[in-house]
Every structure is written in structure tokens, then in C-alpha cells.
Structure 1
Amino acid sequence: MPRHIRILATGGTIAGRGGSAVGRAYRPGQIGIDQLLAEAAALGLETLCEGREIAQVGSQDIGWSEWTALHREVREAQDDPAVCGIVITHGTDTAEETAFLLDLTLPPGKPVVLTGAMRPADALGSDGMRNLANALRVASDPDTAGRGVLVVMGDHVFTARDVRKAATQGAEAFRGFPRGSIGAVAPSSLDWFVPPARSDEPARFAWPASPPRVDILFAHAAMDRALIDGATAAGARGLVLAGLGHGNAPKAVLDALSEAAASGVAVVRSSRVDQGLVDRNVEVDDDGLGFVAARALNPQKSRILLQLALAAGLTDPAAIQAEFDAPRHTAP
């Protein structure tokens, strides 16, 4: 019997068109959910698909209103006994942020799988329909349950925590860090490399109605304190440093961040390096300055976790650090 999968569409390149098979320019979000469902049905997969349109935007324009609507629709699908799994079609630019946000705020339950495309639907070598077929394969597999939110791109399955977009073009644009992919998928097969990590635990964080402002600061040589002062003046309750190397920054920047931390602004040190582990008290005195080390989370995911931690009422640096130190899937 076919397994019932609900597709939630948000736009992106997978729903984009450029009007030329060989051109580079295109507009995302041009294909509606009805056409997407028709194309999915024509693939001949052993799944029964139905869908809902959440948005028709490029993922650079995904914001809290779209995330709230998407979260609500996923929870409804999880509670629907007729639905076996959920696939979200999404632009690739912020797919890792959406996946991580959902992973932190959803119970493990039914499979939730994000996918997208690096090439629009009418481009030569478009990867959208293959990625969608692979995502449907993952979402319909009983062994997907208990793995949290996943991202399927380029025949690979990644966890929400590990996945990151690592290239601006080409079908193999996504990587995992510190772990690589946890599975290999094709429309007709799926091989898992690791067992499920979650069971019946609750969502790690409740969905916040109004998330606090958290800004990311990109460190560079000769950087001064102007961006820190501007962010705090704009009302930022948290700051994430996309730091040099091991999360470092010029002294003027660290001094300004220390002042911000002393005034109650949460400060997290991450790295602008793509594969950047940031440990406590390496090059920077986190204990003395009141900072939090991001560990393996990149700046954009550090921002998501810090927003949720602040929204949950965590303000002490040690308590926030515990959230960054927590095992991959552990409820507080």
C-alpha cells in the first residue's frame, strides 16, 4: 500500500524557472504546488502525495512569519494519522537554518525531510525532481523515524545539525560537518550509515511567538567596534561572532563584546571558517569575558540556537553554553 506523504512547498530554485535551458539567471518560486504534485505523480514512485503551499519565495526571503506557518503545518501533519511523512521543498540558501530551527522545535515523530535544487526546473541537468524523488523515498521509509529533521540533496541524507551549503553552484553543493552524510539515497534505494538517535523525547524548545533579535558579526582584519555598538543600539539581545580562525577577533572587537556581555547581551563565538570547531577558552578567555563557545555550529545555526535559548528564558552564559554543549538530540 502506498505511504501517504504531505509535501509543504515554500518556493526556491526547485520551483524556479529561467526561460532558458542553458542560461544562469532564473526566478525562484514560479511553479505552484499543483504542478509540483503532478510532476511528482509522473515519477511513478510508490508514494501517495498531497501538498500545501506555504510560500513562493526564494529562501533568502524566508522569515519568522513563513517559519511560523511552516512549523504549524508540520505539526498538523505530524498529528494527522493518515500522513506517514512530511517533505518540505525549500530554497537552498537558508535550508540549513530552517531545518535546524524545525529540528530544535519539533518532536522526533514522523519523518520530516527538506529538499531543494541547485538548478531551476527548466535548466539543462536540473536536479530538482531527482532530489524530490529521493526526499519522498526517505520520508516514506519506516527507518527514518527517530532521526530528527533531515536534508536530502545530491543523493545524500544529512542531519539538520550537520548540514551546510558549501558551494554556490553544482548539484553536489551540500556537505555535513562534523559528520558527513548519514545515508545514501536514490529514488529506488536507501542505505543508512548510522542508527536513529532519537526516540520519544519531546521537542527541545517550544516555538517562540516573538523571537529576540540576535545579530551575526563577520570578523575581519582591522575590524573596529562599530558593528557591535550598532547592533546593541538596535536592541540585539544576542550577538554571534563569525570569528577569525578559532572564533577570534581584534582586541577592540573583543573588548566591545565583553562590554556587551557585561550589560546582559548574550555573546557566542563561532567561526567564519567553513569547518570550524570553536572550543572554550582557546585564544579567547571565555570564562573571564562571559562568552559562549559555539562548538561545531556555524554562525547561522548558532544564531538560531541562541534565539531559542533566549526565548526560553536562558540568560546566564553557563546555561546557554550547556545548550551548545548538549548532545546532538537531547531534550533539556
Structure 2
Amino acid sequence: MAGAGLPPLVAVIATGGTIASRRDVDGSSTPDLDGGALLARLRDLPPVRLRPVDLFARDSSTLGLAEMQAISDAVGAQLADPEVAGVVILHGTDSMEETSLLVSLQHRARCPVVFTGAQFTDDHPQADGPANMAAAIRKALSPEAGVHLVFGGRDMPVWGIHKHSADDPDAFRPCGANAEGPWDVHLPASVAGLRVALVAVAPGGDALHIEASLAAGAHGIVLVALGSGNATPAVVAAVRRCVEVGVPVVTSSRVPQGRLAAGYGGGGGGHDLVQAGALHAARLRPGQARILLAALIAEDRVGSLGPQLFGHP
């Protein structure tokens, strides 16, 4: 709680991303602005004290599970400070959906925890970072606890979101009306050190990449499947082998919208994948399915909680 007479305190964790980037002379963009420099862009905020926390300056496409865990740990450290009224995380858009879900799974947020970023660099004529930061800070001052994404004029819970556009400032969407998650889930164990592979399924594809993931020591596999979660007979046979050796498999889809139904048979459909032992991610697309699977593996709760949390019928 803020001290008597002081405005509320919002911690702003800077991790890099486009919001912290400027173009170099060679035309490339790199994140080189720290939290203080970014907060200096802000105008017309309500009364608030801002605490910049510089974690790192990374393109979010380079963040692995260890770095996502570091962000989640930094959020936890701020939530442990009773003076903090809200937390904002400045993050790249390439993996914002993943890190935000991890934070949601690992923390029972007593106040708003808000992710935001930008589609355009800080020196772009249409720079959207300052507006997104201001909106995120206002959300962090609200009474609505939990983990949110505030971006491009939208305010969304993070369960089920995905990046739907590479160049629109309104970049994120929920997967659909059935994407809401179970808010009381708490899976705090660290996911650092886990290897959870994403394997794309092509029409008529074989099991080469699944077998390679097993050989590389994957702790779990998420299939980026077709349609509502379909594959091929070769993939179904490989999933059966994964389950036999204790490597859990989750089926998601490359289709961005709608609830995924495990209905098709024929040897390689979603129904067959479930029969082979795969969990069917009815509500999450591949990036977030990977994070949820990693969190369940870390807690050794894939079997007990997986069907419920992935939304298996």
C-alpha cells in the first residue's frame, strides 16, 4: 500500500522488444532503451509513482523458457512488495502471449499485472509504445487483479490470446468466446531447463520431427496440427510411441480462431490422436499450449490436470 499522501506505486519491468527499439544505420532494429528512457515518453498520466525495473533488453523472439521464468520471477518480486499497487511488463510481441500465460499460471496476482509492448519502434513516425504504456499503467491502477494484456486499444485476459497481425497496432486477439481460462490455477514450479518442442504437422506429413524431438531429449511435444487438431496416421503412431516412453503430447492447431474439436477419425484425425494418448488443446493455440504443458510438466501434474486445463471434452 502507498504511504499516506503518496500516489500509488506501479512497477514497470522492462525486457526489451520493439517498444524499446530504434533503427540502426543499417536499417535493423535493436532494443536499446531502458525503462527510465521509455517512461520519460509518457504524458498526462494520473497521479502515480513509477518504479522502472530493468531486467534485460532482448528481442522477445530470443526468449526461451529460462528467460520467461526470469520475467515471471521479477513479477513475483514486485508482487511481494506491499507498496506496489500494480505491475506493468514491457515485452516484445513475438512471445508476449507465452510469457504472459506463464505469469498468470505461476502467480496469484493480488493486483493488476499488465503486459504491453509495441508494433512500431520508438523512433517510428507511428510509434505506438507510449500510448500502450500509458494505457497499461492506467490498467495497473485499477482494482481489477489478475494478469492482463493491454495493447492497441484492447484490454484482454491473457488466457487464449494470440498475436494475429505482424503489422497492425491492434495486434492481439483472443482465440474465441470459449478461450477463458480457469483463473484459480496455480503452477508455481520453475520451467527453466525444460525442453518442450513445437512440431508443425504438414498435410500428408511423416513423423520425422517428432522422432527428432524425442532423440533430442524433449520433455514434451506440442503439435501444430491442421484444422481442428488433425494430423496423419504416421503422426498418430509417433504420438503413441511418445506416450509409451513418458513424453506427453498436446495437439493444438495452426488455425487461429475457434474452439478445437477432436472429432475426426480415419487414422490421423483429432479423435485418433486423443485415442493415442495426446491431450487436445481445445482453447489454446500452440505457443500458449507449450507454456501450459511446460508448467504442468514442472509440477508433475500433466495427467491429473492436463485434460481439465487443455479443455478436453
Q: Same fold (TM over 0.5)?
A: yes
Residues 1:180 and 1:270: Cα distance change in structure 2 (over 3 Å): closer
**In 2, Cα distance between equivalents of 1:98 and 1:82:** 24
Pairwise mapping of residues 65-76 of structure 1 onto structure 2 (< 5 A)?
Answer: 65-76=66-77
In the alignment, which residue of structure 2 is the partner of 1:325? 311
Pairwise mapping of residues 294-313 of structure 1 onto structure 2 (< 5 A)?
Answer: 294-313=281-300
Which runs of 5 or more residues in structure 2 are unaligned?
A: 1-5
Q: What letter corresponds to residue 264 of structure 1 in structure 2?
A: G
1:289 deviation in Å? Answer: 0.9
In the alignment, which residue of structure 2 is the partner of 1:269? 251
Pairwise mapping of residues 10-159 of structure 1 onto structure 2 (< 5 A)?
Answer: 10-18=15-23, 25-40=27-42, 42-142=43-143, 144-145=144-145, 148-159=146-157
In the alignment, which residue of structure 1 is the partner of 2:220? 238
1:44 deviation in Å? Answer: 4.2
Q: Is the partner of 1:14 in helix, strand or coil? A: helix
**In 1, Cα distance between equivalents of 2:74 and 2:196:** 25
Number of residues of Structure 1 aligned to a counterpart in Structure 2: 301
**In 2, Cα distance between equivalents of 1:151 and 1:87:** 10
Maintained 8 Å contact 2:189/2:299: no
Indicate which of 269, 276, 293 corresponds to 1:289: 276
Maintained 8 Å contact 1:281/1:287: no
In the alignment, which residue of structure 1 is the partner of 2:3? none
Q: What letter corresponds to residue 164 of structure 1 in structure 2?
A: H
1:43 deviation in Å? Answer: 4.0
Maintained 8 Å contact 1:157/1:181: no
Q: What letter corresponds to residue 245 of structure 2 in structure 1?
A: S
**In 1, Cα distance between equivalents of 2:40 and 2:302:** 48
In the alignment, which residue of structure 2 is the partner of 1:214? 196
Residues 1:237 and 1:73: Cα distance change in structure 2 (over 3 Å): closer
Percent identity among equivalent residues?
A: 32
Q: Is the partner of 1:285 in helix, strand or coil? A: helix
**1:168-222 superposed Cα distances (whole Å, 9 cap, x missing partner):** 102112111224999xxxxxxxxxxxxxx85xx5x61023264532111111123
Pairwise mapping of residues 223-234 of structure 1 onto structure 2 (< 5 A)?
Answer: 223-234=205-216
In the alignment, which residue of structure 2 is the partner of 1:330? none
1:237 deviation in Å? Answer: 2.1
Indicate which of 205, 216, 228 corresponds to 2:187: 205
**1:87-134 superposed Cα distances (whole Å, 9 cap, x missing partner):** 000001100001001000011311100000000011011100000000
Q: Is the partner of 2:57 in helix, strand or coil? A: strand
Q: What letter corresponds to residue 85 of structure 2 in structure 1?
A: C
**1:276-304 superposed Cα distances (whole Å, 9 cap, x missing partner):** 42234543224531111101100111111
Q: What letter corresponds to residue 263 of structure 1 in structure 2?
A: V
**1:226-277 superposed Cα distances (whole Å, 9 cap, x missing partner):** 1011000111121111111011112112211222222221111111111142
In the alignment, which residue of structure 2 is the partner of 1:3? 8
Alignment pair present for 1:169 and 2:167: yes
Residues 1:269 and 1:139: Cα distance change in structure 2 (over 3 Å): same
**In 2, Cα distance between equivalents of 1:100 and 1:209:** 13
Maintained 8 Å contact 2:69/2:190: no
**In 1, Cα distance between equivalents of 2:246 and 2:260:** 22
Q: What letter corresponds to residue 98 of structure 1 in structure 2?
A: T
Relative to the length of structure 2, the TM-score reads: 0.89
Q: What letter corresponds to residue 39 of structure 1 in structure 2?
A: R
Maintained 8 Å contact 1:269/1:278: no
**In 1, Cα distance between equivalents of 2:49 and 2:257:** 39
Q: What letter corresponds to residue 135 of structure 1 in structure 2?
A: A
Maintained 8 Å contact 1:113/1:150: yes
Relative to the length of structure 1, the TM-score reads: 0.84
